[in-house]
Amino acid sequence: MSPTIMPSSRLDPMGLALEEARAAAGRGEVPVGAVILHEGELIACAGNRTLEMKDPTAHAEMLVVRAACAHLGSERLTACDIYVTLEPCAMCATAMSFARLRRLYFAASDPKMGGVEHGARIFAQSTCHHRPEIYGGIREGEAATLLRSFFSSRRC
């Protein structure tokens, strides 16, 4: 699951997350992708695999957190940043808090299931022990179009 480490000067992290989202859509999964960088180097990337793995926790974010922890040999990702194509749900936001991710970058907001700016607002809770820096709206239009297209093709 972890690709070869690449220097950050050649990376487009949200572009890579979008590639993972497109690959997930190609597998019939909800098109969400995520990547994690450690000190600017790519250490994990994944797209949703809930259907493939028959696992409701196999969200892109959960998969990259697991892969990054395995890669670093630690349950803490304090020097890591995560890029996700959709606002994380409450489960994924909680995992990010537990992993102590440094920064969260996401593309499209998710008013229905989001757990960062919408819904549970995990990082705003008094019981949240760690809050990453949060940056939303990065390539939002591209991610939202991908999601709309995926769901509209399912409704026909």
Contacts of 126 (CB under 8 A, 6+ apart): none
Local structure of 40: helix, strand or coil = coil
**Residue 26: partners with Cβ closer than 8 Å, 6 or more residues away:** none
Per the annotation, the verdict on 61 as an active-site residue is yes
Please enumerate in sequence order all residues whose Cβ is within 8 A of that of 52, keeping only pairs 6 or more positions apart, or say none. 27, 29, 58
* Three-class SS state of 73: coil
Instruction: Please provide the distance, in angstroms rounded to a whole number, between the alpha carbons at the two ends of the chain.
Output: 33
CA dist., res. 132 & res. 123, Å (int)? 8
The single residue of 20, 29, 61, 87 carrying the catalytic annotation is 61
Q: Known catalytic residues?
A: 61
